[in-house]
């Protein structure tokens, strides 16, 4: 079914690659107008060039979401191009953390700046604009299963993603009466430029992730785009404050293949 996001105006951060790109393309196919924001200019332009002949319009914007003026600049351009956004997908993020004893202050600050501070500031801008316009909007924050389940070596990354889930729950409480829904998605292992090298080269990572996933595969950016589409559509009208895990069952099981002779 297409057209689930007809007449919607969306901002997608990190729209120049991976999950963000798939979300931009799916939203366009579903009829939304989309501002694809990324600090990687080439990536954002490439995403826009991949748009089909669907009903939605797309514009690529180059911006670092952690810049002081980024929320003002991005929302101003969105208003100018399409109108007040009705959807915000806070997706831009950085990965590949280290254990805490080898994480220096510079890395700590970098993760906090991009994965938490920028997301907070975009979300704040989003609710301010939506409330001003009386928009029944939807905000989706991209968290991670590592914000729910402890995983070796993910220290500050996990901390930022847990904080994103906490913020999502709080915002749902604060803005439900304004008709603004705020949800998070916690992706499992999705093959994107963020993960593909680690996945190809690291046997521990492959086994710990794919070996422990009941569905027996990695996720695709399209899997997350589908979840974001659902959460932003009318089908999710009564869903807010929820964190939707999209991980093939990784975080809700301790999956191991059952041996031929299981326990009695
Ligand atoms: P990706 O590296 O393919 O894409 C991230 C995009 O965000 C890139 O285009 C990058 O340029 C952009 N970006 C990063 N910092 C930015 C900044 N400061 N300003 C503007 N743009 C910025 O990675 P992805 O896997 O698509 O990740 C997207 C989101 O999903 C991230 O928040 C990530 O933490 C989350 N996530 C990914 C996975 C996974 O397995 N890939 C799992 C859980 C959560």
Mutate to test the pocket of ligand 1, among 12, 14, 246 (most ligand atoms within 8 A of CB): 14
Q: What pLDDT was estimated at residue 261?
A: 86
CA distances, 143 to each of 90, 160, 211 (Å): 9, 8, 22
Euclidean distance between CA atoms 134 and 123, whole angstroms: 16
pLDDT tens, position by position, 166-177:
999 999 999 999
Q: Is 157 a catalytic residue?
A: yes
How big is the CA angle at 145 (ends 140 and 148), to the nearest 5 degrees? Answer: 100
Euclidean distance between CA atoms 262 and 264, whole angstroms: 6
Nearest CA to ligand 1 atom 2: 194
Q: What pLDDT was estimated at residue 208?
A: 93
Q: How confident is the model at residue 160 (pLDDT cuts 50, 70, 90)?
A: very high
Contacts of 33 (CB under 8 A, 6+ apart): 8, 9, 10, 56, 57, 58, 81, 82, 83
Share of residues in the chain with pLDDT > 70 (%):
100
Euclidean distance between CA atoms 251 and 264, whole angstroms: 26
Q: Across-strand partners of 37? A: 13, 61
CA distances, 180 to each of 161, 175, 191, 238 (Å): 21, 6, 31, 11
Give the pTM: 0.98
Q: Taking residues 74-91, what's their average pLDDT? A: 98
Which contiguous run of DSSP H or E holds residue 186? strand 181-187
Q: How confident is the model at residue 1 (pLDDT cuts 50, 70, 90)?
A: low
Q: Of 5, 182, 187, 22, nearest to 82 (Cα)? A: 5
Mean pLDDT estimate for the chain: 96
User: DSSP class of residue 212?
Assistant: T
Euclidean distance between CA atoms 86 and 10, whole angstroms: 6
CA distances, 149 to each of 76, 139, 204, 250 (Å): 37, 23, 17, 10
- Report residue 52 as tokens: 């089909």
- Report residue 248 as tokens: 């093939």
Ligand 1, CB cutoff 6 Å, lining residues: 14, 16-20, 38-40, 43, 64-66, 91-95, 114, 142, 144, 187, 189-190, 192-195
Share of residues in the chain with pLDDT > 90 (%):
94
Q: What pLDDT was estimated at residue 204?
A: 93
Q: Taking residues 46-50, what's their average pLDDT? A: 97
Q: What pLDDT was estimated at residue 262?
A: 81
Is the model's pLDDT at 31 over the cut of 70? Answer: yes
Q: Of 163, 174, 108, nearest to 141 (Cα)? A: 163
Euclidean distance between CA atoms 176 and 78, whole angstroms: 24
Q: Across-strand partners of 187? A: 246
pLDDT tens, position by position, 100-155:
999 999 999 999 999 999 999 999 999 999 999 999 999 999 999 999 999 999 99
DSSP H helical segments within 50-118, as ranges? Answer: 70-81, 105-111
pLDDT tens, position by position, 217-241:
999 999 999 999 999 999 999 999 9
Mutate to test the pocket of ligand 1, among 44, 71, 92, 145 (most ligand atoms within 8 A of CB): 92
How big is the CA angle at 145 (ends 151 and 138), to the nearest 5 degrees? Answer: 155
Q: How far is the CA of 134 from the centre of ligand 1 (A)?
A: 30
Is the model's pLDDT at 58 over the cut of 60? Answer: yes
| 140 exposure class (CB count in 10 Å sphere: 0-12, 13-18, 19+) | buried
């Amino acid at each position: 079914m297409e057209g689930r996001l007809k007449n919607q105006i969306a901002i997608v951060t990190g729209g120049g690659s991976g999950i963000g790109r798939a979300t931009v393309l799916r939203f366009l196919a579903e009829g939304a107008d989309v501002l694809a924001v990324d600090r990687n200019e080439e990536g954002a332009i490439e995403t826009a060039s991949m748009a089909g002949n669907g009903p939605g319009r797309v514009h690529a914007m180059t911006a670092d979401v952690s810049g002081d003026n980024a929320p003002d600049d991005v929302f101003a351009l969105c208003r100018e191009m399409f109108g007040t956004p009705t959807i915000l997908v806070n997706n831009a993020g950085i990965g590949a953390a280290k254990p805490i004893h080898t994480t220096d202050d510079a890395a700590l600050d970098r993760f906090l700046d991009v994965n938490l501070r920028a997301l907070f500031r975009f979300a704040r801008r989003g609710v301010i604009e939506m409330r001003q316009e009386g928009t029944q909007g939807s905000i989706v924050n991209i968290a991670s299963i590592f914000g729910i389940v402890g995983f070796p070596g993910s220290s500050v990354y996990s901390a930022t993603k847990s904080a994103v889930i906490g913020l999502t729950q709080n915002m749902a409480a604060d803005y439900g009466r304004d008709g603004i829904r705020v949800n998070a998605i916690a992706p499992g292992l999705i093959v994107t430029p963020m993960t593909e090298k680690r996945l190809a080269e690291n046997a521990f990572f492959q086994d710990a992730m794919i070996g422990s996933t009941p569905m027996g595969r990695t996720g695709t950016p399209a899997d997350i785009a589908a979840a974001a589409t659902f959460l932003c559509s009318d089908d999710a009208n009564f869903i807010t404050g929820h964190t939707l895990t999209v991980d093939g069952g990784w975080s809700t099981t301790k999956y191991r293949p059952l041996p031929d002779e299981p326990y009695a």
